[in-house]
Structure 1
């Protein structure tokens, strides 16, 4: 069985953090820090552990924020080379890095929002921290409190030698970062981040470009036309790295059959042909799987490029939940036929619980539902 994710913030890591902070500041009350941080830690889940350890930092690091930030910076492991965008961050004898950066960043954010002067000092500390973990969670309260200051800083960071710092410019300002504070002002109007994304769209690091793609995908959820406009501007004659970025940025719109996005990728034409869907077995227990068999027969004489997705409506108390699964993209020759098969697991996962009841499946081709079917989920 895999180690629980929460154990990335372990009691041993707390003790090592105490040792490195003591090295950086001889006046650090290591015993008090460890007692505070370890009290009840093992009963907590991942995010709660990060907040709990941050509470211990607040209780024991200097009240003077500049002093506290200097202590944190001195406790960190050496920064990677500027062109090293690997994710092998971990705490070693050389200093702190990796997941301890989450509570350290939380401490910096809590102190940083107190004043604009504190925010400026916090940004310096996050510039260092993000090269040993990430500052994407910590910078978000600063964006809310001091947007002009932070956006000007992020714009400068788009040309920083470190790929980790350039990534933070995009990742930290994503409107809907998972696990992070939602930036409601940017959900309503993402205009402030557009210059940042433009500066990074052709970044030499795939790590940075993937963040730009995820940022654009966030924007697509609320402002799909903005991403369509990006495709119109940046997709023609795009080299493979930029093309891959734009495809990843389009993924939610493509999965939901957004016609202008489909058209931008040459997938906007309506399917001309027949489609039938068979689902077996008709009844299946939670934890098992059903097999979907889709048969397509083209009626057009010309070939058609098809983007096929599966929309599954799972039962849940009081209604149903909709989940889109990416299917296939291919060219179907004129008058040709093809049979496609896929297994659909009904095993519960962290992000989706399974409930007994009637489920339905829709087959979406180039944005149109062309076939449907259903099955019954039984209690295991």
Structure 2
């Protein structure tokens, strides 16, 4: 994907072999014509327009920022802005802080999305990874933004930080609950990585009792051998041993065999629910092993475990075989 973006921008610049100040009106005219032909704003396939800016204007910070402010509304400049972090870190940081107060939601989103410590497919910026707190001011400006697309970006940014400095994200979130249900959802999305890791403080924000344990927990795999391309059906049975309603978060974790013989784990959510006193629960689930672009399946012994309120409680193994 990134190679295609790069190639399209290069081809444009064969014909527009000019500095960005001269390309700017041509680029904005291109966007105007695309819109007239029915192309909507914030359209990912046209993300190459921002690479045109970077390739022709990296030596012209002011013009680049002026153009990004317009192009990011049409197709996000989240990847392109990171080259300016590389070359003009402090100036870019100040520009992003300014954009976090912009009147256009897509520009405000850029301030959060383009500055993420672990932006997928974006070039890494060591100065951000090593000091993710530098963008807290931006996140404080945007966490309760009126636009969901901005709030979602802030949640993803905070989730990135939680992988580097979890205590920073916990501190950011802990005093912000209770403003509205929508904002509480955004904060929960920000904490999703810590919830999956069973972080006790994060779980406590949502009233999950990490000391709770189910009664008579059973994990029943309907197959012990699964072909790549097929699915693994399984069933969970358990009871609530207490005499009161209990809020539980249920997940399952699969240990995927890797090429080096080690295991990589991924957590999948089975749901959150209130369980009545002494209630008996049965959950049926099917996990697919069809080929996907983001994961290679290696035949051999894999494992699956059940996690409740952050505690890994029971595990079973199965064989993954070639289809």
Shorter-chain TM-score tier:
over 0.9
The residue correspondences of 1:277-356 to structure 2 (distance < 5 A) are: 277-319=219-261, 320-356=263-299
**How far apart are residue 270 of structure 1 and its match?**
1.8
User: For structure 2, which runs of at least 5 residues remain unmatched after alignment?
Assistant: none
CA drift of 1:195 comes to: 0.8
Contact 1:359/1:375 (CA < 8 Å) preserved in 2?
A: yes
Q: Which position in structure 2 is the counterpart of 1:378? A: 321
SS at match of 1:179: coil
Residue 137 (1) aligns with residue 79 (2): yes
2:163 alignment partner, SS class:
helix
Distance 1:99 1:303, change over 3 A: closer
TM-score (norm. length: structure 2): 0.92
Moved more, 159-168 or 104-113: 104-113
Distance 1:346-1:361 versus aligned 2 partners, 3 A rule: same
Report the alpha carbon displacement of residue 91 of structure 1 after superposing the two structures with TM.
Answer: 5.1
Select the residue among 168, 172, 175 that pairs with 2:114.
172
**Any conservation in 2 of the 1:76–1:132 contact (CA below 8 Å)?**
yes
Matched, 1:362 2:317: no
Q: What 5-or-longer segments of structure 1 have no aligned partner?
A: 1-45, 79-89
Looking at structure 1, the residues matched to 201 and 57 of structure 2 have their Cα atoms a distance apart, in angstroms, of 42
2:212 is the counterpart of 1:267: no
Aligned with 2:268: secondary structure?
strand
| C-alpha RMSD of the superposition | 2.0
How many aligned positions are there? 320
When Rg is computed on C-alpha atoms for both structures, the one with the higher figure is 1
Q: Kindly tell me: are residues 99 and 329 of structure 1, through their superposed partners in 2, closer, same or farther at Cα, counting changes over 3 Å? A: closer
Is 1:61 the equivalent of 2:3?
Answer: no
- Aligned residue for 2:32, secondary structure, equals coil
The structure-2 alpha-carbon separation of the partners of 1:242 and 1:96, relative to structure 1 and needing over 3 Å to count, comes to: closer
Spell out, residue by residue over 1:261-319, the C-alpha distance to the aligned partner (whole angstroms, 9 max, x if none). 11122114322333221111111211111112111122223332111111101223222
Post-superposition Cα deviations, 1:333-358, rounded to whole Å, max 9, x if no partner, equal 23222111111111111111222111
Rounded Cα–Cα distance in structure 2 between residues aligned with 1:135 and 1:336? 51
- Give the deviation of 1:75 after TM superposition: 2.7
Superposition TM-score, scaled by structure 1 size: 0.79
Matches of 2:86 and 2:19, distance apart in 1:
23
Q: Secondary structure at the match of 1:222?
A: coil
Tell me if 1:201 matches 2:156.
no
TM-superposed CA distance for 1:95, in Å, is 8.5
Q: Which residue of the partner structure matches residue 188 of structure 2?
A: 247
Name the structure 2 match of 1:32.
none
Task: Say yes or no: does 1:74 pair with 2:29.
Answer: yes
1:182 to 114, 124, 131: 124
Q: Secondary structure at the match of 2:250?
A: strand
Distance 1:280 1:95 in 2: 48
Shift of 1:74: 3.2
